[in-house]
A and B are shown apart, each in its own frame.
Chain A
Amino acid sequence: MTATMDPRPHVRTALDVARLFARDADPTRTANLDEHEDRLGPLPLAVYPNRPGRQRLIDTVARAGLRGRGGAGFPTGEKLAAVAAGKGRAVVVANGCEGDPTSAKDQALLARSPHLVLDGIALAAHAVGAREAILCVHRDSPLIDVVYAALHERDRDTVAVEVVEVPDRYVASEASALVNFLNNGDARPTTTRPSVRGVRGRPTLVDNVETLAHIALVARFGDAWFREAGTPDSPGTLLVTVGGAVNRPGVYEIEAGLPLSDALELAGGESEALAAVQIGGLGGSWLPIDDAAELPLAHETCRDVGIPLGVAALVALPARACGIAETARILRHLADESAGQCGPCMFGLPAVADDMEALAYGDGSVSGQLHRRLGVIPGRGACSHPDGAVRLAVTALHTFADDVAAHAHGEPCHAAQGPFWTPLRIPA
């Protein structure tokens, strides 16, 4: 007896998920257009014809409950609707820069499934009525060749996709900074909102490339299918980058809501005893391993414990490391990466990095000053870069409270010289 095969990618178990990545595919290979269409079927543009079709596509994405995968978790359907309703012909910007060095998921996605992202760009452009789209990647990225090769295979796209190389700086890939760079070559954030006034003043949809890839799946298989994975508030699968003290660091596709310890397990498990996990990128949060292990990786469950999920990246910090020294090093990097436009960011972040370094070197006298500074910086920059740095510092003081207490009594850090576990991209 032969049942017809269900062509829709499905979830076998919480640990065996294959939607964005093909099941059992060689992670070092790029799926070409034929392989891509064999697995998922053709780009379903014709399913959503004309104006009513575009509206139906937006509604389908909204009902799917897809949230942006660039860090903020904003509902994608809402953003599509806002840009579609804007004045003038819209533009789509696909954010493939992946400025956070703890994350490698966008690179993995573009390297393995560029056509899924390009499908997503075509569909999003259709939804908001855009005729041009810009795919942003970091300058000199090896992905540029992959993307051009994929674009050459496609001749039916109605949207013109331009590939633009963006400076490899942390804040350059913040949405308003990308738009500013595209408009005048200055990759620093502004106070204008891209969805209202973006590229050349047009309403602009800035979406993470993984978000766009999910749109390509939702458009094919529907919102009910999308919700078969994940949680009610964070539906679907997501790509998570697991690094630090694990046996197989890398990018894994998981169901949203998977307990953090299972994500570490996917990455081969911890390679030594752990103290804490950094979750959400450099502007994310530290959690003690005992609190982190059971945490389901979803927006609402993270919010419940007072942290944002942020960029889905985990760094496992071993017990022998010093979380305060590790954090001081990251804060110095984030201070160096400030765009230098807003006072509390350009002066506050170096000051906070100084304090955290002093703590690591056994100078407890800075503690009061550090707390005061952390209290006044958030919410006062044009972008949320300083807020992220403060969040990392605040959660470090919670998570590594014992280290802080020991340092405050003059005990210098045993690991102040490293080794360090959080990857940082030091600009050339």
Chain B
Amino acid sequence: MSTLRLDPIMCHAHGLCAELLPELVELDEWGYPLLDPDEVPPELEAAAKRAAAACPTLALKLERSVVPVPAPREAGRPSGALSLPRHG
């Protein structure tokens, strides 16, 4: 089982990933990928591997999902749960 991961600094919005793996990658309005956060389904594993290999900057990675190790995360302020107010 594996999951798609993106290094946001390395990604330069080439958009190749969305072309190769439209099932799991969408581009936002600025051309940057929005990844499906779930585990990659087995039938898409090969396509996901190809997309990661094709990324010109190696920003996209296919990571083996492991039981998460609770490592200290001190790099930033917490991103608390955000809920958007209803509008319309």
Contact = CB atoms under 8 A, between A and B. Distances in A.
Contacts of B46: none
B71 A374 contact: no
Interface in B7-38: 7-9, 11, 13, 28-32, 34
Contacts of B7: 191, 382
Given A190-B9, A191-B7, A388 B74 contact: no
Given A375-B84, A394-B84, A394-B85, A206 B74 contact: yes
Contacts of B8: 191, 341-345, 380-382
Interface stretch (A30-38, A71-79, A246-254): A71-79
Given A79-B72, A343-B13, A348-B30, A398 B85 contact: yes
A351 B31 CA distance: 14
B53 to A, nearest CB: 20
A367 B13 CA distance: 26
Interface string A336-353: 000001111101100100
Nearest to A381: B8
Given A342-B9, A343-B32, A344-B28, A383 B76 contact: yes
A427 to B, nearest CB: 21
Contacts of B13: 343
B83 A306 contact: yes
A195 interface: yes
A367 B82 CA distance: 17
A379 interface: yes
Given A191-B7, A375-B84, A344 B32 contact: yes
Contacts of B88: 368
A83 B6 CA distance: 26
A379 B85 contact: no
Given A74-B72, A78-B72, A79-B72, A378 B79 contact: yes
B9 A367 contact: no
A41 to B, nearest CB: 30
A376 B75 contact: no
A375 B76 CA distance: 20
Contacts of B72: 74, 78-79, 82, 193, 195
Contact of B74 (A175, A310, A345, A391): A175
Contacts of B81: 306
A308 interface: yes
Contacts of B74: 68, 72, 74, 79, 175, 193-195, 206
Interface in A374-414: 374-376, 378-385, 387-388, 390-391, 394, 397-398, 401
Contacts of B42: none
Size range of the chain B interface in the assembly: 20 to 34
Contact of B30 (A74, A341, A343): A343
A174 interface: yes
A378 B73 CA distance: 17
Interface in A70-112: 71-74, 78-79, 82
B87 A367 contact: yes
B77 A384 contact: yes
Nearest to A385: B76
Nearest to A383: B76
Interface string A300-331: 00010011101100000000000000000000
B84 A374 contact: yes
B76 A72 contact: yes
Contact of B71 (A73, A191, A193, A281): A193
Contacts of A394: 82-85
A257 interface: no
A383 B74 CA distance: 11
A72 B78 contact: yes
A196 B69 CA distance: 14
Interface of B: 6-9, 11, 13, 28-32, 34, 71-85, 87-88
6 contacts: A174-B75, A175-B76, A193-B71, A343-B32, A348-B28, A391-B82
**Shortest 9 CB-CB contacts between residues of A and residues of B:** A384-B76, A343-B32, A342-B8, A387-B79, A347-B30, A71-B77, A308-B80, A341-B9, A308-B78
